Amino acid sequence: MDVDNPISVPYPGVCSLPEDAQTQYGESEPIVITGVGLIGSLGTDRETLWRRLQAGRSHIRHLTGLRGIPDGQLLGAAVDLPEEQPSRLKVFPLAERAADEALRDARMNWADIDRTRFGCSISNHMGDSTWVDEQLGLRGAADPRHTPWWEQFFPNTTCYHLARRYGLGGPRLSYSTACASSLISVLAAVRAIRDDQCDICLAGGADAIDPLFVAGFRKMKVLAWNADPGQACRPFDRNRSGFVLGEGAAIMVVERLSHALRRGARIYAEVKACRSLAEAHHVTGLDSESEALAYLISSTLRSARLRPCDVGYINAHGTGTLQNDLVEMRSIREAFGSALDRVCVSSTKSSLGHMINAAGGAELAVTLLAMRDGFAPPTLNLTDPDPELRFDCVPLVGRRNRFQHALKLSVAFGGHLVAVALSRWNDAQTGFQYPSETRRAA
């Protein structure tokens, strides 16, 4: 698509919810997810990444070429892109690939879509700091043929860029809520549809490893290290020491059910509930008593009209830091009680790294794929479980688990807590069938 010549969007005088949807569902119409695009260190397309994640693989490695960081002193789950351009923020091609894949997956026929009713809810990211580097003498003057810094400086630029790329005239939403940002973006998309601002929305986020973030996290001493990079991130393990930075993107197509059915889309899942709240404890610290997160989990299940025993899988935030894991373990235990015997919990950051602004969206996408195929991905490096870990964290090896309902959690700096409850779409005509046999790992 020609990004320099975006599609113009014709705005009618009045936009309203189609009559059939108003008549059939009213305000309670289900919101569903019909397309998933996913990019990460394990693969630059959704299915390659998912197969490798199922197989328990990790591409965490020593990083080089990051300005201000000595080569080999940082571990990361980086993405290698063939089309990467040094003058362009890496977050852009990551987001573009994920969005293109999500739209193909959703079987988007643009001739049948009212783009004035198509929103774009994409999380914030680090902006271009090239000009600052130049002023500090850290690099030479930029080549004038390169992308001007002011075209990619603002942290909401990816949202603007994708909306312009596809000619989307609905609401543009971009939140900065640390590593809950892309999960909040999905929540915002659902609410925009419920508020009748749009019928369909791109939702998610993208992020790349940035030297300023690295410097901050190193100062906080929250980054893990191990002579064997693949062993560094150890969520819920007694010997955990922090997280490993990752990069990637996850974009989903979220829409009202009637809109999806009318255009013949396949449906992954219904978004049963999505809720957020704040823990007003500390900018980076969490309340070890975990009351806020436990309350959020319970209230999200109530809003979804689910019991704890209905949930078959939880994708945890699971950073591998001492504090985060402790709070999540206690909160999940408090909210689920005896029902934990039936739940699989995993942290896929052990494979994909921590994608910061893109983390929640990427892990929600993984949850959708796990639900689609009936397979719980593993928590790598969980060889010596923390004594507080009293539930099944799918250690080391993933396994078949055909669950109907799932929960995704994000626990972010600044006290941003988010939970999304999903229900698998089982209709034979409009949903996905379980694979007949376990897919061969790539």
pLDDT tens, 368-424? 999 999 999 999 999 999 999 999 999 999 999 999 999 999 998 777 899 999 999
**How high is the pLDDT of residue 68?**
76
pLDDT value of position 146: 62
pLDDT digits (tens, 9 = 90+) for 140-196: 555 554 666 667 777 888 999 999 999 999 999 998 888 889 999 999 999 999 999
For residue 362, give both structure tokens.
């990427």
Residue 344 is among the residues annotated as catalytic for this protein = no
User: Are residues 117 and 15 in contact, defined by beta-carbon separation less than 8 angstroms?
Assistant: yes
Q: Is 56 exposed, middle or buried (0-12, 13-18, 19+ CB in 10 A)?
A: middle
pLDDT tens-digit map of 7-22: 555 544 333 334 454 4
> Residue 11: what pLDDT?
40
| Distance between CA atoms of residues 80 and 217, nearest Å | 23
pLDDT at 106 over 50: yes
User: What is the reported pLDDT for 150?
Assistant: 67
| Six-digit token string for 105 | 């997956």
For the stretch 19-32, pLDDT in tens is 454 455 656 899 99
Chain-centre distance for alpha carbon 421:
14
CATH homologous superfamily of domain 274-424? Thiolase/Chalcone synthase (3.40.47.10)
Residue 118 pairs in a beta bridge with 200
Task: Indicate the range of 38-47, 84-93, 341-350 predicted with least confidence.
Answer: 84-93
End-to-end CA distance of the chain: 31
**Whole-number pLDDT of residue 93:** 93
Task: Determine the pLDDT at residue 310.
Answer: 97
The whole-number pLDDT of residue 82 equals 81
Summarize the confidence of residues 264-284 as an average pLDDT: 86
Instruction: Give the mean pLDDT of the chain.
Output: 88
- Alpha carbon distance 390, 340 (integer Å): 8
Residue 248 has pLDDT above 80, yes or no: yes
User: Are the C-beta atoms of 279 and 292 separated by less than 8 Å?
Assistant: yes
pTM above the 0.85 mark? yes
Do the two domains 29-262 and 274-424 of this chain adopt the same fold? yes
Residue predicted with more confidence, 84 or 187: 187
Q: How confident is the model at residue 326 (pLDDT cuts 50, 70, 90)?
A: very high
- The confidence score (pLDDT) of residue 17 equals 38
Q: Are 430 and 266 in contact (CB under 8 A)?
A: yes
What is residue 295's predicted lDDT score, i.e. its pLDDT?
94
Q: What is d(CA 216, CA 195) in angstroms, rounded to the nearest whole number?
A: 38
Active-site hit among 120, 159, 179, 344: 179
Mean pLDDT of 238-257: 96
- On the question of pLDDT at 265 being above 90, the answer is yes
317: annotated active-site residue? yes
**What tokens does 241 get?**
């020491």
Task: Report pLDDT for 415.
Answer: 74
Which of the residues 59, 161, 259, 317 is marked catalytic? 317
HEC string of the chain equals: CCCCCCCCCCCCCCCCCCHHHHHHCHHHCCEEEEEEEEEECCECCHHHHHHHHHCCCCCCEECCCCCCCCCCCCEEECCCCCCCCCCCCCHHHHHHHHHHHHHHHCCCCHHHCCHHHEEEEECCCCCCCHHHHHHCCCCCCCCCCCCCHHHCCCCCHHHHHHHHHHCCCCCEECCCECECHHHHHHHHHHHHHHCCCCCEEEEEEEECCCHHHHHHHHHHCCECCCCCHHHCCCCCECCCCCECEECEEEEEEEEEHHHHHHCCCCCCEEEEEEEEEECCCCCCCCCCCCHHHHHHHHHHHHHHCCCHHHEEEEECCCCCCHHHHHHHHHHHHHHHHHHHHHCEEECCHHHHCECHHHHHHHHHHHHHHHHHHCEECCECCCCCECCCCCCECCECCCEECCCCEEEEEEEECCCEEEEEEEEECCCCCCCCCCCCCCCCCC
Q: What pLDDT is recorded for position 280?
A: 65
* Nearest-angstrom CA–CA distance, 234 and 240: 5
Catalytic residue flag (residue 405)? no
Q: Under a CB-based contact definition with an 8 Å cutoff, are residues 174 and 123 in contact?
A: yes
- State the fold for domain 29-262: Peroxisomal Thiolase; Chain A, domain 1 (3.40.47)
Selecting among 59, 125, 354, 416, the annotated active-site residue is 354
Q: How far is CA 436 from CA 120, 129, 140, in A?
A: 35, 49, 57
Domain extents in the chain: 29-262, 274-424
Mean pLDDT score, 266-279: 94
pLDDT grade, residue 84 (50/70/90)? low
Q: Within the chain, what is the greatest distance between any pair of CA atoms?
A: 63
